[in-house]
Structure 1
Amino acid sequence: MTGGGHAADLALAGIVLLGSCVQWLTGMGFALVAVPALILLLGPSEGVVLANCAAGAISVVGLAGGWRRVRPAAMVPLCAAAACTVPAGAWLTHRLPAPALLLVMGGLVTVAVLLIMRGARVPALRGTRGAVVAGAAGGFMNTAAGVGGPPISLYAVNAGWTIREFVPNAQFYGVVVNAFSVTANGLPDLSAPRWASVTAAMTVGALIGRGLAGRLPEPRARLLVLGLALAGGVTAVGKGLWGL
């Protein structure tokens, strides 16, 4: 393997490790942090499907200890709406050229992060109607851009959920919507050694994230995740514009 190949493998493992770490810290940080970097490293299509696989796997493990706090009344409309828009996201991913996809993905991440930073209050994101709107947006964004969490975060803000309420429900949604997305987009085309390094990075990231969860104040962790996500989104937009 060439030096460039080794560097790419190390970069991939580092991205996944960081994403896994912040996912365990905040409940939904993997895609925001990792997707912009993954699409720059692997290309839009492969980056998205790898993010879907990794985020889904992390959500499954995280949900094991908190499934009793899942709210079915909110999750049913959220997940049902996501199932309806996943095909549209998959269609977009396979039709747009790479620079346009980078632009779309980076733009979605950037706008979503700015809205979350503002704590946007949106009347349309309240109640059952809000769950349908957020779920539909999340399903489309997750399959098209690998980032389905921001609409759910905004829904939770408008529903007044605490972080304790948000995390297990976000993980449940992550399991379901990423399963939909992987079914629609397929699995990433990675070699066995790369799969092994990705799995190891996810495990190490989870251990670090769980270790930091009790030590890093929630506002600081949240600001770190959003700052990294915003930087990645802006970078993806810039590369997309350059490619066009």
Structure 2
Amino acid sequence: MTWAVVTGVCGAVFLATVVQQVSGFGFALLCVPLASLVVGPKDAVAVAMLAGLVSSGKMAHGLRAQVHRPELRRLLLGAALGLPIGVVGLRLLPDDPLRVALAVVVLTMVAVLAGGYRRASTAPRTQVAAGVLSGLLNGSLGTGGPPVIVLLQATGTEQHRFRATTTAFFATCDLAAIPLILVSGATTATGWWSAAASIPVLLVGDRVGHRLAYRIDRDQFARVVLGLLAVTAVVTLVAVFA
């Protein structure tokens, strides 16, 4: 593990932490493709899992009173079914297909959110299904956010309830995924050590993002985040085919 790797991972973690604190999503969606440019997609999942657990867990604890628990339970039920299958995919799939799949997932989510998809409500079974898909994506790509984000955004969930519920979901999923990924042997020590080295930077990003969360207009910031996600996905694709 070189200083260039540590610096690259720390930069990805810092940016992702600030974005998540302000918007309630985006940590893994930014962290995984950016970190994959320096440590590869599989070790980038390890970075997102360990650093994401700290980031989401800290944020979820602070917002715990605003979590919508029935919704969270249904999402976690689905994730428990999808996560082990996703980890198998992480173990078996080569790096380049994982990078392409990651970019496609990010760009699809950007298109759906930018298109303003809305619905009045969602049935409990839809929430469980979103959890299953999220678990699959989390275990294989480290980016389980899109199904949950789209679901909550589509129903117009209030900003701080959205932040509380999504971060509680992400933290719980990361906590469950880490031992599964360790046992699978899909990642190397580089991912875990670089993630651990990024924790101090993460804490700085957490404080910066927390201050910004109550000062920046959410809609305006969301547009910036979507643009940043799109650029990150394109860069990931270029790295595969260059």
TM exceeding 0.5: yes
Conservation of the 8 A alpha-carbon contact between 2:85 and 2:136: yes
Q: CA deviation at 1:146?
A: 1.3
Q: CA deviation at 1:181?
A: 1.9
Structure-2 change in CA distance of 1:65 and 1:192 (3 Å): closer
Q: CA deviation at 1:207?
A: 1.5
Q: CA deviation at 1:196?
A: 5.2
Which residue of 80, 83, 86 corresponds with 1:86? 83
Q: CA deviation at 1:73?
A: 1.5
Which residue of 140, 152, 169 corresponds with 1:144? 140
Conservation of the 8 A alpha-carbon contact between 1:103 and 1:239: no
Amino acid at match of 2:24: G
What SS class does the counterpart of residue 147 from structure 1 fall into?
coil
Number of residue pairs the alignment of both structures matches: 238
Give a deviation string over 1:160-204, Cα, whole Å, max 9, x none. Answer: 311122111111101111122212212761389745530111011
CA distance in 2, matches of 1:237, 1:182: 26
Structure-2 change in CA distance of 1:193 and 1:65 (3 Å): closer
Q: CA RMSD in A?
A: 2.1
Structure-2 change in CA distance of 1:75 and 1:193 (3 Å): closer
CA distance in 2, matches of 1:45, 1:72: 31
Q: Structure 1 unaligned runs (5+)?
A: none
Conservation of the 8 A alpha-carbon contact between 2:43 and 2:192: no
Structure-2 change in CA distance of 1:65 and 1:238 (3 Å): same
Matches within 5 A, 1:86-235: 86-121=83-118, 126-186=122-182, 189-190=189-190, 194-195=194-195, 197-235=197-235
Q: CA deviation at 1:71?
A: 1.8
What SS class does the counterpart of residue 36 from structure 1 fall into?
helix
Q: Structure 2 unaligned runs (5+)?
A: none
Most deviating of 108-117 and 178-187? 178-187
Amino acid at match of 1:237: L
Q: Which residue of 2 aligns with 1:239?
A: 239
CA distance in 1, matches of 2:42, 2:76: 23
CA distance in 2, matches of 1:177, 1:191: 18
Amino acid at match of 1:59: S
CA distance in 1, matches of 2:241, 2:209: 34
Structure-2 change in CA distance of 1:66 and 1:193 (3 Å): closer
Please report the TM-score for the alignment, with normalisation by the length of structure 2. 0.90
1:73 aligns with 2:70: yes
Conservation of the 8 A alpha-carbon contact between 1:110 and 1:229: yes
What SS class does the counterpart of residue 198 from structure 2 fall into?
helix
CA distance in 2, matches of 1:223, 1:51: 23
Q: What percentage of residue pairs aligned between the two structures are identical? A: 25
Amino acid at match of 1:149: G
Most deviating of 184-193 and 99-108? 184-193
Conservation of the 8 A alpha-carbon contact between 2:5 and 2:194: no
Conservation of the 8 A alpha-carbon contact between 1:138 and 1:151: yes
Conservation of the 8 A alpha-carbon contact between 2:135 and 2:144: yes
CA distance in 1, matches of 2:138, 2:191: 24
Amino acid at match of 1:35: V
Amino acid at match of 1:178: D
